[in-house]
Homo-oligomer: A and B are copies of this chain.
């Protein structure tokens, strides 16, 4: 149930690991039509906190139910929680800069929410602080772990990823994925083109202008960590890898991206082409949700959502430990039906 690209290895994935979820927001998600990671543009700012709460608690506190798309497709945090339930690793939520703070214990990187990249995403000072505190956290985690899995939650993160890849010189226009089956490529292109005007010449200036706090948090933790890293995410993790490469070329030897087949097979994007450009290895979870009992879950097979909250990487870790697709989908369905029945209950009462 795992497909490998570019000589990616899998044996070390059996090591004991910590699952690190980096959350943040970017005001790019407020642009109508750019993301479906929330029922409305305003609600996208609640999605990362609610995702983190769901992964840790099995319920959300910042919103009434789990994050859904405008047409009700549930957050990939559901897939992540189901996958990790078979493993029970240490889970750490890291706030790199989220407008809404999760109502659970979380690690603070002293970041700030990302602003609109058409103006200025982050201050230079906060860019440096997120990177430095991420490095420090990664170093500290090295004292106990030889492997970490890093997931992300940031609506509109593929748009900031595309801007970041282009700012760093990669051929990325129109090549990032989307949580929607109808990738809003024209809108993303317009936003990114405007963001890339008057780009500063220096590296920190560039990423402060067009990236987001999650990309910096993921890059910082990876730069500081001294073992193997599975970056659990889609085209956003290629942008994180590109930032990592700017600071430490050799680091990519220890890094593999773990994502879903839906991202790799997304014909509106070019996951494999982009990862080849940056030279980062890729694994894809071949999770099959066609056997789910629920429309909302089977919708993933039609290109909805695709990835997020480390869903691809978490399912890869479950598969590596002998969990079958049947077992995993059964658990996803159990969790989903529990959420749906709770929702009905709260409507009645």
Contacts and interface: CB of A to CB of B under 8 A. Distances in A.
Interface of A: 16, 18, 56-57, 88-92, 94-95, 103-110, 133-134, 136-137, 140-141, 143-145
Nearest to A90: B144
A108 B106 contact: yes
Contact of A91 (B94, B104, B108, B140): B140
Contact of A140 (B90, B108, B144): B90
8 contacts: A16-B144, A88-B143, A90-B140, A90-B143, A90-B144, A103-B110, A104-B133, A107-B107
A144 B18 contact: yes
A108 to B, nearest CB: 5
B91 A143 contact: yes
A147 to B, nearest CB: 12
A104 B133 CA distance: 6
A64 to B, nearest CB: 19
A331 to B, nearest CB: 17
A148 to B, nearest CB: 12
Contacts of A88: 143
A144 B107 contact: no
A107 to B, nearest CB: 5
A264 B136 CA distance: 36
Nearest to A137: B105
Most central of A103, A105, A145 by chain B CB within 10 Å: A105
A133 B57 CA distance: 11
Nearest to A135: B105
A108 B110 contact: no
Nearest to A133: B105
Contacts of A110: 103, 105
A89 to B, nearest CB: 6
A105 B104 contact: no
A92 B137 CA distance: 9
Contacts of A89: 143-144
- A57, A109, A143, A145: residue with the most chain B Cβ atoms closer than 10 Å: A143
Contacts of A95: 108
Nearest to A221: B105
A105 B20 CA distance: 14
B136 A57 contact: yes
A16 B103 CA distance: 29
A141 B107 CA distance: 13
A218 to B, nearest CB: 14
A104 B109 CA distance: 7
Given A90-B140, A140-B90, A107 B109 contact: no
Contacts of A143: 88-91
Contact of A136 (B104, B107, B109, B145): B104
